[in-house]
Amino acid sequence: MLVLSFTQLRHRPLVDSHGVAVGRLEDLVVLALGAKPQVTKLCLRRPDREEWILPWELVADFSTDPGAPIRLRSAAADLSPVTLRPEETRLAKNVLDKKVVDTARKKVVRVNDIELEEREGRLHVTGVEGGLRGLLRNLKSEGLAERLAALVGADLPRDVVAWEVLEPLETELTRAKRQAVYTKLAKLHPADIADIMEELNPSERAAILAALDEATAAEAITEAEPEVQASMVQMMEPEKAADILEEMEPDEAADILSDLPEAKAEELLETMEPEEAQEVEELLEHEEDTAGGLMTTEHVAFAPTLTVAEAIQRIRDKAKEAETIYYLYVTDPRERLLGVLSLRELILADPGQRLEQIMHTDVVSVRLETGLREVAELQTKYNLLALPVVGGEGEMLGIITVDDVLNLILPMIWKKRAVKKFI
């Protein structure tokens, strides 16, 4: 088995079966399937500068000696170009010097070279190389750098990413092809996807989001930094952005829209489904650092006369719609908050008991205008994962989850610590 690098093969002369020069190797084409894609075609730059694409089967042999020609099986007069298939990818054009995602290490890597493996006369792509050594080889300076490193006792390690864990970030691919390419990326945790996208430029982020399904894209965006969130949404087509916003909790969608220019926010609200848009618009009326701006309208509330067994069944039906089901709220026909119980208490209760018999009536709640500091203090004092928000007559309007509070408080803490560090 022979291991080669793409940059060592690129620009090598090609000769026909009689040794007559026919051009230079410009690119390799792979069928981008499997852990080690097979090279299917080569791109030849003829002396007249015209590019031809030839089947790899025409290659008779090639040497590991840099600069040695690649010999073809046919005479120059018998050569005729072929076309690319839609599922084929050019390595120099679409992979080399491009960014890719290493889904194993959850980071973005710039491709400085491509690792190839020769088996029985066929070439297979095994990985891509980033790092300094790959860059120096690409610049034809690897040998000199090795000699200089040896003089000072240093090493030039290789940074190779296996093809099977790699995700290309190719913005020229069709939508159908992008969806096939990003399957590995979509399996990562949304927070990891967010970290990866924060390393990319706006157009690259837009390409990924356009290919991911709405639910995955929504989760990834909500994990990103606020300024990045706004950039992501602003770069997308309005229909796609609206679909993603509809997948989010209303409070998360409202936070993102509040960071967008007013005209863009209005455009997206008009594109969203009316019901979802109305919920978000209501939240946008409140300041971000108040209970009204922090809350989500998605919560679980039932009548006091409901039995435990009936409540459990309804929770199963409503679980997908609620942001959290740690607590079950009990309200009257006018939606006034009467009591609360935890999911644990509900499960351990007698199935025949009514909710009004087991609920806690001394409910800690806040009003729409309550500030962030007081909300945080109440959640900390009473160890609450969610805090209900009520209106003037005690009607339940929504809940504030602890993660929404932390998302605002933690950056403040970090900023204060950073300031103290340099004072």
Give the tens place of pLDDT for each residue, 120-146.
Answer: 888 999 999 988 877 777 777 767 666
pLDDT per position as a tens digit, 142-194: 676 666 666 667 777 778 999 999 888 764 544 445 545 578 888 899 999 99
CATH placement of domain 2-162: 2.30.30.240
Contact of 339 with 332, CB cutoff 8 Å: no
pTM score, whole prediction:
0.71
- The residue-averaged pLDDT of 369-396 equals 93
- The residue-averaged pLDDT of 95-104 equals 91
pLDDT per position as a tens digit, 274-305: 999 999 998 998 888 899 999 988 888 999 99
Distance CA 398, CA 336 (A): 12
Contact of 269 with 257, CB cutoff 8 Å: yes
- Looking at 59-68, 280-289, 352-361, which range is the least confident one? 59-68
Contact of 399 with 365, CB cutoff 8 Å: no
CA-based torsion, 173, 177, 179, 181: positive or negative? negative
Q: How confident is the model at residue 38 (pLDDT cuts 50, 70, 90)?
A: very high
The CATH architecture assigned to 169-285 reads Alpha Horseshoe (1.25)
The CATH architecture assigned to 301-407 reads Roll (3.10)
Domains of the chain: which residue ranges? 2-162, 169-285, 301-407
Q: How many CB atoms lie within 10 A of CB 138?
A: 20
**Which residues pair with residue 205 across a beta bridge?**
none
Contact of 302 with 331, CB cutoff 8 Å: yes
How many residues does the structure list for the chain?
Answer: 423
- The residue-averaged pLDDT of 257-284 equals 92
